[in-house]
Amino acid sequence: MLTSKQRAYLRGIAQSYETIFQVGKGGINENLITQVSDALRKRELIKLRVLENSMLTSREAADQLAEACEADVVQVIGSRFVLYKPNPKEPVIDMKAVK
> How many domains does the chain contain in total?
1
Report if residue 12 sits inside a domain: yes
| C-alpha span between 53 and 21 (Å, rounded) | 15
Report if residue 96 sits inside a domain: no
Q: What is the CATH number of the domain that holds 53?
A: 3.30.110.60
Q: Quote the pLDDT of residue 12.
A: 96
Report if residue 94 sits inside a domain: no
Report if residue 91 sits inside a domain: no
Q: Quote the pLDDT of residue 95.
A: 87
- pLDDT tens profile 60-77: 999 999 999 999 999 999
Report if residue 65 sits inside a domain: yes
Q: Is 13 left (phi over 0), alpha (psi -120 to 50) or beta?
A: alpha
Residue 70 belongs to domain spanning: 4-84
The residue type at 29: N
Report if residue 99 sits inside a domain: no
**pTM of the shown model:** 0.95
- pLDDT tens profile 9-48: 999 999 999 999 999 999 999 999 999 999 999 999 999 9
